[in-house]
Amino acid sequence: MHELSVCQSMLRQVEEIAQREQATSVERIVIQIGPLSGVVPELLQQAFTIARCGTRAESAELVTQTQPVRVHCLQCGYDSDAQANRLLCAECGDYRTRLISGDELLLASVELTKN
Q: What angle do CA 59, 9, 29 make, to 5 degrees?
A: 35
* 7-66 binders of other proteins (CB under 8 A): 9-10, 12-13, 17, 21, 23, 27-28, 31-32, 34, 36-39
Would you give the distance in Å from CA 71 to the centre of its chain? 18
Q: Does 86 bind Zn ion (CB under 5 A)?
A: no
Q: 91 is in the binding site of which of other proteins, Zn ion, none (Cβ under 5 to 8 A by kind)?
A: Zn ion
Q: Does 76 bind other proteins (CB under 8 A)?
A: no
- The nearest distance, CB 96 to Zn ion, in angstroms, is 8
Of 68 and 93, which CB lies nearer to Zn ion in the complex structure?
93
Could you please report the per-residue DSSP string of 47-94?
HHHHHTTTSTTTTPEEEEEEPPPEEEETTT--EEE-BTTB---TTT--
